[in-house]
């Protein structure tokens, strides 16, 4: 049975998921759609493979992950071209994305043993006869549900850390970017052909739901807040733990001592890269009054120079999900209807499958363009009286993924006050590429962390072990204790804890 095709819209034809270029309609690939039984079998294979993967130890896994990293680095142009064909983003942006993913594989492989390996920890007074040890053990099989907007770096932010921690992985790529997900698993299989350590299951949303039901030991999801809630509800039925990286409405604060040219350059890239289809995109700016006009002028000048189209020489590609264009159009219309002004772009900027850069000012805070995730190449810039007002408005949404502050004297202090999981000072979105730092948000942006030490522990179970070293000086863990021994415990507690000390 053949379904009607529209450029960029995934369809199922004769049991195969068909992926097409959102700009040209070119077919990029077709992949067998998994049903619930197929997903269950993939998870069963992954569970069998887990014993072998764990048995390699940290050194064995590290060696294989570093070989995979090298293969991806050697073939970076290949995967970047595929990302561009399937999602529409410029090849240069796809290379930057892949470079960040490669760095994450490297960091996870090199640091897993340090973060997760067995260690002795300090004991406590009442159990002085015991030594204490801590280690982190693999969870088993991790299900990863990936997004379409960054189909390399985002899923690998979970996949690489889960693999380094000793888990096997089943990835359900977005139905908009199945070819990229398959390419990642296929290249891993070139390095690790012995066992199905990293597999892919293809299909629409019901395949993701089947993965949640398939008995995996954890689900890592990246996508919209609404879908994240559905994933949580599904996983709650089996008490399957989840990591949720959901939407964002990131803001940029420009203080009165900021470098305006640098702030505008960063803002334009942070707002418009990947056509604004970034959970970390700068969608709001709060600029203090003394620098507001100069900042707006500089942003408009830089954004006006960007070229929109598909192929070589263009800065901004098509909107990958055609239905997102309706959301972008609604946000622009709502902002203008409420009294906002378009100093660049506007209603006429929406020309499917493209949306040209749109900069909006004087937009009320209650408008959709300020309150809801737009996921398009639009930006609101608001004049504020001072830094305190900028921080207050930045924190006024339900989202809390990332944010940025440009300034000198007070920028770091302001960044600490933001209700976000991440913040950058005098840059934007840099935390995504910093492998040593945890990545994740608060509020409607989700919970849990990928990347860094926390990202490795996210896919592990803490295992605590106590070992008796000798006889008990303070017999606290027995019914055989005597009144004299209880008195000795009381005396020790008062002696060591009964007065304030540093």
Q: Write down the pLDDT at residue 126.
A: 84
| Helix ranges restricted to H, 144-204 | 153-164, 178-191
Structure tokens at 355: 């949306």
What's the CA gap between 392 and 390, in Å, rounded? 5
Section 446-471 average pLDDT: 96
Q: Write down the pLDDT at residue 4.
A: 53
Dihedral pair phi/psi, residue 84, rounded to 5°: -65, -45
Q: Write down the pLDDT at residue 499.
A: 87
Closest CA to 364 of 333, 335, 392: 335
Closest CA to 243 of 169, 295, 185: 169
- Per-residue pLDDT tens for 249-290? 999 999 999 999 999 999 999 999 999 999 999 999 999 999
- Per-residue pLDDT tens for 126-149? 888 999 999 999 999 999 999 999
Q: Write down the pLDDT at residue 309.
A: 97
Whether 3 shows a pLDDT value over 60: the answer reads no
Structure tokens at 211: 């993965």
Q: pLDDT-derived band of residue 500, with 50, 70 and 90 as boundaries?
A: confident
Q: What percent of the chain has pLDDT over 90?
A: 94
Reported pTM: 0.95
Dihedral pair phi/psi, residue 433, rounded to 5°: -95, -5
CA angle 237/239/243 to nearest 5° reads 110
What's the CA gap between 320 and 148, in Å, rounded? 8
Q: Write down the pLDDT at residue 120.
A: 95
Q: Dmax over Cα atoms in the chain, in whole Å?
A: 86
What's the CA gap between 315 and 297, in Å, rounded? 20
User: Could you give the 3-state DSSP secondary structure of residue 84?
Assistant: helix
- Per-residue pLDDT tens for 328-385? 999 999 999 999 999 999 999 999 999 999 999 999 999 999 999 999 999 999 999 9
Whether 1 shows a pLDDT value over 80: the answer reads no
Whether 23 shows a pLDDT value over 60: the answer reads yes
Whether 64 shows a pLDDT value over 70: the answer reads yes
Sheet holding 130-138, edge to edge: 119-121, 130-138, 460-468
Q: Between 27 and 473, whose confidence is greater? A: 27
Section 198-206 average pLDDT: 97
| One-character DSSP codes across 399-410 | EES-EEEE-SSS
DSSP 116: H
Q: Write down the pLDDT at residue 233.
A: 96
The number of beta carbons lying within 10 Å of the beta carbon of residue 281 is 30
Q: Cis omega (within 30 of 0) on the bond before 353?
A: yes
CB contact at 8 A, 242 and 274:
no
Which residues are known to be catalytic?
245, 279
Section 196-225 average pLDDT: 97
Residue 274 host element (H or E)? none
Whether 2 shows a pLDDT value over 70: the answer reads no
């Amino acid at each position: 049975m053949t379904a009607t095709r529209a450029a960029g819209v995934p369809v199922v034809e004769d049991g195969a998921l068909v992926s097409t270029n959102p700009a040209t309609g070119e077919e990029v690939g077709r992949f067998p759609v998994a049903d619930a039984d197929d997903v269950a079998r993939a998870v069963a294979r992954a569970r069998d493979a887990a014993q072998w993967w764990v048995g390699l130890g940290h050194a064995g896994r590290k060696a294989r992950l570093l070989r995979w990293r090298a293969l991806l680095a050697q073939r970076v142009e290949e995967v970047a071209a595929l990302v561009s064909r399937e999602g529409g983003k410029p090849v240069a942006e796809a290379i930057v994305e892949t470079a960040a993913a490669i760095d994450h594989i490297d960091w996870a492989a090199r640091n897993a043993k340090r973060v997760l390996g067995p260690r002795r920890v300090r004991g406590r007074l009442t159990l002085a006869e015991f030594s204490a040890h801590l280690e982190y053990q693999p969870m088993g099989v991790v299900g990863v549900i990936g997004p379409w907007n960054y189909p390399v770096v985002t899923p690998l932010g979970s996949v690489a850390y889960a693999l380094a921690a000793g888990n096997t992985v089943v990835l359900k790529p977005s139905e908009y970017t199945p070819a990229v997900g398959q390419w990642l698993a296929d290249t891993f299989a070139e390095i690790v052909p012995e066992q199905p350590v990293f597999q892919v299951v293809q299909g629409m949303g019901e395949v993701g739901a089947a993965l949640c039901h398939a008995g995996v030991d954890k689900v890592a999801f990246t996508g919209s807040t609404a879908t994240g809630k559905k994933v949580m509800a599904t996983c709650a039925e089996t008490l399957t733990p989840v990591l949720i990286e959901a939407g964002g409405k990131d803001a940029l604060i420009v203080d009165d001592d900021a470098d305006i040219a640098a702030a505008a350059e960063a803002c334009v890239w942070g707002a418009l890269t990947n056509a604004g289809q970034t959970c970390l995109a700068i969608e709001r700016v709060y600029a203090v009054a003394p620098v507001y006009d100069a900042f707006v002028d500089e942003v408009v000048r830089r954004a006006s120079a960007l070229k929109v189209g598909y192929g070589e020489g263009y800065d901004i590609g098509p909107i990958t999900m055609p239905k997102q264009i309706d959301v972008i159009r609604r946000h622009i219309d709502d902002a203008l209807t409420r009294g906002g002004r378009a100093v660049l772009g506007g209603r006429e900027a929406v020309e499917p499958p493209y949306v040209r850069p749109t900069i909006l000012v004087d937009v009320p805070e209650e408008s959709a363009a300020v309150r809801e995730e737009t996921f398009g190449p639009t930006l609101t810039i608001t004049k504020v009286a001072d830094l305190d007002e900028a921080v207050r408005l930045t924190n006024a949404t339900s989202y809390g993924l990332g944010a940025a502050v440009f300034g000198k004297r007070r920028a770091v202090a302001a960044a600490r006050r933001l209700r976000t999981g991440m913040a950058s000072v005098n840059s934007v979105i840099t935390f995504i590429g910093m492998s040593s730092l945890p990545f994740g948000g608060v509020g409607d942006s989700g919970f849990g962390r990928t990347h860094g030490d926390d990202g490795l522990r996210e896919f592990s179970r803490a295992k605590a072990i106590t070992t008796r070293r000798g006889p008990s000086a303070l017999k606290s863990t027995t019914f055989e204790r005597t009144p004299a021994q209880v008195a000795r415990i009381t005396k020790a507690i008062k002696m060591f804890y009964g007065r304030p000390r540093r």
